[in-house]
Chain A
């Protein structure tokens, strides 16, 4: 028992929770945006991979870290545009298009990475984002180091949660967005083009996904290697259901999830005799559990996966 207490009372553990949660927060917000306008974006896993690669590659070639994040976001938006053009005006299957984008974006990332770094037994690293201590606040015992000595993208992620929560529920644009996911015909009747709104929102959401990926290479692992995203994108898709499509709850879900992940990592080192693979399975099994708990309770956007064509019901 004292082992558990040691883990739970350590600053390192709680500080790691927020760090592990950061890419999930970006990704979950991205999925949430897309689904709030009625489009499932299974491209996330590939878009995160591409963001991780292109962000890393930019910094590796001399760009500064924020430029790397920006390049990742722009690339993500481009994949979002591709996904949006296929699923919104053409109304193609959102499932298959998204998977296609994932397969294309990830293999394209590996291809470009291999072109840029032909031989690498150990992947080259970049100088990552350093923790930024917020003056005064970081001096608060325990809470200070946990919340206020994170890397800048983590603060950005938290700000984005607040911004999105406010934007979705307190602005006319947010109302139009939510309406597009519930009833695009009604939006159209109000003189707003739901097709255009969907396309732009999917681009924004995909940009967030790519930034989540870039966080992995620019703040967590410092290098890029194939299959590094490891299903984080899929976990984000599950977290959005868990969050009932609400930004605040998405943050909660990502934190809860990251808590278990940080906890199992530390538990692995102190518990003997349990195969490490069981610990590694935990995140995926927890995501499935979250889906089971919330599947019937969550309020799904009514027009999710319904292509919109004017004059067609």
Chain B
């Protein structure tokens, strides 16, 4: 058996890859559900019902998808340029913390809401950028591989958040719970649906995806970033400024992750805790791969993950299947997607 590269991967096959990958992942996870003594079809039915069956379910799914779109974009733009940003989780926390810290400035309360919101979003994005520029700097200056450094910085970031919310940023009115002071009312994102948690952040995330798509497919920067990822040496030879391109990519990637944290604080939680993110940053990596690094595809992949997470919560209550099954399924779909992408690019020959 050997593999032979296809000259032109067919478009239909490329579009079908994620569908096939998700189906195989669901099949394997179904086996695990059966192992727990439940009917997999019934479990999947309950997951869909939990995610779409009610107004509340739909709003929760979309609320959950919001940060996932942004962390998915963070991974997608970075991976495309072969910048291995695995630090989305830490960047998200820094974005969230920065917004809460910025919100402590008294003058902010007096600002009109649109101005306060825009300022806070910018602050969150910048904080995320900074946390990614450090490992990128280490790579450019000392040749340190950014995979491990971004991973390690995730732990440092969460510990830093813990330090701040138990220290200078602690909410004195929280009955001793370690949580930050709340963001001012002027910076709270308006709701999209009455009596739900769905907020303006969803539209911001979708706009970010469209913006990223435009940037990547219609600008010189997008072309340079792609070239830097495909073949850095050839790109440098063709005149692409590698360092500057990577810095711009890092700003975009870290910025998206920071924005995810900012939006989560301003739209859903209102304050920062160390369990703000159920590993949105790591899920972003899966989402980016499921989307084949396509920014518009990220929206769909984020929705798939959100459906699994929200649906599994209600399914696990009904069938007493651990809700970790959602994480298992989503992680499995990353592995199956890698193989599916391979099959779109290669033919198997005997």
A residues sitting closer than 8 Å to B (CB atoms) are: 42, 82, 86, 90, 92-93, 95-97, 99-101, 103-104, 107-108, 110-111, 114-115, 118, 230-231, 234-235, 237-238, 241, 275, 277-278, 280-281, 284-285, 287-288, 291-292, 295-296, 309
A118 — which chain B residues lie within 8 A by C-beta? 320
Where chain A touches its partner, the secondary structure class is helix
A90 — which chain B residues lie within 8 A by C-beta? 3, 339, 342
Tell me the nearest residue of chain A to B320, going by C-beta. Answer: A118
B325 — which chain A residues lie within 8 A by C-beta? 111
Q: Does B48 contact A (CB under 8 A)?
A: no
Within 8 A of A (CB), among B280-295: 282, 285-286, 289
Q: Which residue of A95, A104, A111, A235 contacts B84 across the interface (Cβ within 8 Å)?
A: A95
Q: Which residue of B147, B149, B163, B327 contacts A110 across the interface (Cβ within 8 Å)?
A: B327
Bits for B288-325, please: 1 = Cβ < 8 Å to A, else 0.
01000000000000000000000000000000101011
Q: Does B207 contact A (CB under 8 A)?
A: no
- For the A-B complex, the count of residue pairs with Cβ-Cβ distances under 8 Å equals 123
- State the Cβ distance, A280 to closest chain B Cβ, in Å: 5
Bound Cα distance from A97 to B339, whole angstroms? 10
Please tell me if the beta carbons of B36 and A115 are within 8 angstroms of each other in the complex.
yes
Please tell me if the beta carbons of B334 and A296 are within 8 angstroms of each other in the complex.
no
B335 — which chain A residues lie within 8 A by C-beta? 82, 86, 97, 100-101, 104
A287 — which chain B residues lie within 8 A by C-beta? 148, 152
B residues sitting closer than 8 Å to A (CB atoms) are: 3, 32, 35-36, 79, 84, 86, 138, 142-145, 147-149, 151-156, 159-160, 162-163, 166-167, 282, 285-286, 289, 320, 322, 324-325, 327-328, 330-332, 334-335, 338-339, 342
**Residue picked from A101, A103, A237, A284, most chain B C-beta under 10 Å:** A103
**Residue picked from B86, B332, B335, most chain A C-beta under 10 Å:** B335
Please tell me if the beta carbons of B322 and A281 are within 8 angstroms of each other in the complex.
no
Please tell me if the beta carbons of B328 and A107 are within 8 angstroms of each other in the complex.
yes
Please tell me if the beta carbons of B152 and A92 are within 8 angstroms of each other in the complex.
no
Tell me the nearest residue of chain B to A309, going by C-beta. Answer: B3
Please tell me if the beta carbons of A291 and B338 are within 8 angstroms of each other in the complex.
no
Please tell me if the beta carbons of B152 and A104 are within 8 angstroms of each other in the complex.
no
23 residue pairs of the A-B complex, CB under 8 angstroms, read: A42-B147, A86-B338, A95-B147, A97-B335, A99-B86, A99-B282, A100-B334, A100-B338, A101-B335, A108-B328, A114-B324, A115-B35, A231-B151, A231-B154, A241-B145, A277-B159, A281-B156, A285-B156, A287-B148, A288-B138, A288-B152, A295-B143, A296-B142
Please tell me if the beta carbons of B155 and A295 are within 8 angstroms of each other in the complex.
no
- State the Cβ distance, B311 to closest chain A Cβ, in Å: 16
Where chain B touches its partner, the secondary structure class is helix
Please tell me if the beta carbons of A86 and B160 are within 8 angstroms of each other in the complex.
no
Bound Cα distance from A237 to B144, whole angstroms? 12
Bound Cα distance from A72 to B338, whole angstroms? 26
- State the Cβ distance, A162 to closest chain B Cβ, in Å: 27
A292 — which chain B residues lie within 8 A by C-beta? 138, 142, 144
A288 — which chain B residues lie within 8 A by C-beta? 138, 144, 149, 152-153
Tell me the nearest residue of chain A to B316, going by C-beta. Answer: A114
The 10 closest A-B pairs by CB, nearest first: A107-B327, A114-B322, A103-B331, A277-B163, A104-B331, A111-B324, A100-B334, A295-B144, A284-B152, A277-B159
Q: Contacts A104-B332, A237-B148, A292-B142 hold; do A93 and B322 have CB atoms under 8 A apart?
A: no
Please tell me if the beta carbons of A281 and B84 are within 8 angstroms of each other in the complex.
no
Bound Cα distance from A284 to B145, whole angstroms? 15
Please tell me if the beta carbons of A103 and B282 are within 8 angstroms of each other in the complex.
yes
- A110-B324, A231-B154 known; 9 new pairs, CB 8 Å cut-off, are A96-B338, A234-B152, A238-B148, A275-B167, A277-B162, A281-B155, A287-B152, A288-B149, A291-B144
